[in-house]
């Protein structure tokens, strides 16, 4: 189940951009965990890719973990964007296959991501 929280009624273009940046998507995995996703800011993206280190050159590894930068909370507990490889691995292990599947299903059509962009990352798995 995916729920998007964005109210764009009677907003100026600037307000719409700000609202989209603050937009959240909530999805539930097979275990019943509620996973909140939010578009990472540019600095968070840079820090995330820096955290991947040499592994970022491995398209298989990078394609699998890139979705993790969108996770902002699990069952109401805030999840900061990982800034070290160990934090990336810990979040991946915490979500496991069920959480990753829920994230992969929730991302297409949200945050400006097309289905083909998400499918391309998934295909690298």
Phi, psi of 78 (to 5 degrees): -60, 140
> Tens digit of pLDDT for each residue in 108-123?
888 776 655 554 444 4
Is 99 a residue whose pLDDT tops 60? yes
Distance CA 73, CA 37 (A): 7
Which pLDDT does position 41 carry in this prediction? 87
Predicted model pTM? 0.75
Dig out the tokens for 56 from the structure: 């970022």
How many distinct structural domains can be found in the chain?
1
- Report how far residue 122's alpha carbon sits from residue 64's, in angstroms, rounded to the nearest whole number: 7
pLDDT at residue 87 greater than cutoff 90: yes
Residues in Cβ contact with 116 at an 8 Å cutoff, skipping those fewer than 6 apart: none
Tell me the CA end-to-end span of the chain in Å, nearest whole number: 23
Domain that holds residue 109: 2-123
Longest dimension (CA), the chain: 46
Residue 20: CB atoms within 10 Å: 14
Lowest mean pLDDT among 10-14, 15-19, 23-27: 15-19
- Helix (H, G, I), strand (E, B), or coil: what is residue 24? strand
């Amino acid at each position: 189940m995916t729920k998007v929280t964005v109210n764009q009624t009677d907003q100026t273009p600037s307000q719409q951009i700000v609202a989209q940046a603050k937009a959240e998507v909530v999805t539930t995995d097979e275990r019943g965990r509620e996973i909140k996703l939010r578009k990472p800011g540019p600095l968070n993206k840079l820090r995330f890719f820096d955290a991947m280190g040499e592994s970022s050159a491995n398209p298989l590894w990078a394609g699998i973990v890139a979705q993790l930068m969108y996770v902002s909370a699990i069952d109401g507990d805030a999840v900061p964007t990982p800034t070290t490889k160990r934090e990336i691995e810990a979040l991946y292990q915490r979500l496991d296959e069920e959480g990753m599947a829920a994230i992969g299903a929730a991302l297409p059509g949200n945050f400006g991501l097309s289905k083909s962009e998400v499918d391309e990352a998934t295909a690298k798995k």
